[in-house]
Amino acid sequence: MTDCEGEGPLELYEQLTAQGDRVRALKTAKAEKAEVDAAVQLLLQLKVDYKQVTGQDYKAGSPPSENSVAPDNRPATEGADDEDTVDPWNVSTTNAKGVDYDKLIVRFGSSKIDQELVDRIEKVSGQRPHHFLRRGIFFSHRDMHQVLDAYEKQKSFYLYTGRGPSSEAMHVGHLIPFIFTKWLQDVFDIPLVIQLTDDEKYLWKDLSLEECQRFAVENAKDIIACGFDVNKTFIFSDLGYMGACPEFYRNVVKVQKHVTFNQVKGIFGFTDSDCIGKISFPAIQAAPSFSSSFPKIFGSRKDVQCLIPCAIDQDPYFRMTRDVAPRIGYLKPALLHSTFFPALQGAQTKMSASDANSSIFLTDTPKQIKNKINKHAFSGGKDTVEEHRKYGGNPDVDVSFMYLTFFLEDDEQLEKIKQDYASGALLTGELKKILTELLQPMISQHQEQRKQVTEETVQQFIDLKKAHH
């Protein structure tokens, strides 16, 4: 949705008319599907905004009346004044470098993680900042300074992140929030709750409840294999926890009472034909943001601040949560947002767990990893070796280089690879080989660790136990 804070009904009407013309022109010109889809998406988002601002549906040739006004209590909405589409279910851009994250910060109203904040995290934690912070992979935040202020005054906080279990196998991109969350848990020595939204996947996907519950257990094994501290980590599935913890459900209901149908339609784009489960789901994702949802960990305390590391497409849920929190007597959760992990085919989309070739899966063999990188990883190199040696490659659009940014910890080595590739000294095949040799042992090690995770281990993390805090 576009950020229509300052837009009057007439400006929005004119934008809509122009965008409608643009879509027609693109279709007539038989433009590329991605470009047409992005333009249509923007048109639809503008229509939602128009209805939100005027209370009326947009009709071509019928400008809004002078006295069209916005309803009160409008939710924070997303902007789409460019080609990027970012919401909890879709991420796409027409730019080979990926989503424009600076624009996204402006659109979502979050704050950039600047060098000052990275330095402060180093000072407060006493640890060198994780390379995800140093490289801007976690790039945006809400209220992180507030969390650090409290921590300096000996007030602890807790972490909350999650996973929607839509398939048995997770891919390397799914590990990003967990790798970073584990680092935060280790350096700040704090409790962590991990929500498995098996209910969400049942409502959105063509899966049975049993499949969603089974995927939740399988995904939990991959998450546990990242090395979380069993004494400080509680993993729960919504389908299991909601019935076992009255306090959690009470918080869900409190959130539900304070968000209108109009608001969730505005934030999430729900339509009248969506099932009512989808409409009420955002409140379930909001509830873990409040410490009173976990009485076995925090007792009756309502004053433990929550910090949520997640990819920025999840932010709409927590904008809603932050809007509601003060009205039900709770602290607003703070957030750290990551960029998207690009698909092998390029940074225009995030990866799909349902497309085997769009990513490297945690179940892939060394041979599959090598083949996928060689065959599918989008290259920023030139067409021939001669051209490449002469003009160099473009690391900004090269997926193998992007993946190294996520997984190669040595800053100097990464910088050297970048320079060599850009100068033409390093060929695409050589770059792909570096990535292959980094990922093969990393994923084999993950598979070994996962083999150690038994059903009993999963039970230890799922048990409603008192964690240290």
Burial of 272 (0-12, 13-18, 19+ CB in 10 A): exposed
Starting at the earlier edge strand, list the strands of the sheet with 111-112.
111-112, 138-142, 334-338, 305-311, 157-163, 192-196, 233-237
Per-residue confidence (pLDDT) for residue 4, from 0 to 100 = 43
Computed on alpha carbons and rounded to an integer, the radius of gyration of the chain in Å comes to 23
pLDDT of res. 352: 65
* Beta carbons of 99 and 346 less than 8 angstroms apart: no
pLDDT reported for residue 46 = 81
For 349-451, CATH gives 1.10.240.10
Q: What six digits make up the tokens of 133?
A: 């912070």
Long-range contacts (CB closer than 8 Å, 24 or more residues apart) made by 448-456: 449/225, 449/226, 449/227, 450/221, 450/222, 450/224, 450/225, 450/362, 452/225, 453/221, 453/224, 453/225, 455/217
Regarding pTM above 0.75, the answer is yes
pLDDT per residue as tens digits for the range 155-171: 999 999 999 999 888 99
pLDDT attached to residue 77:
40
Q: What is the pLDDT of residue 118?
A: 98
* Whole-Å CA distances, 356 to 34, 307, 378, 465: 21, 32, 15, 37
> Residue 350 has what pLDDT?
67
- CATH value of 9-96 in 3.40.1360.10, 3.30.1360.70, 3.40.50.10140, 1.10.287.10: 1.10.287.10
The reported pLDDT for the residue numbered 20 is 81
CA–CA distance from 136 to each of 3, 148, 172, 334, 338 (Å)?
24, 19, 18, 18, 8
The ranges assigned to domains in the chain are 9-96, 104-343, 349-451
Q: Identify the segments of the chain with pLDDT beneath 70.
A: 1-7, 65-83, 349-354, 464-469
Q: Provide the CATH number for the domain formed by 104-343 in this structure.
A: 3.40.50.620
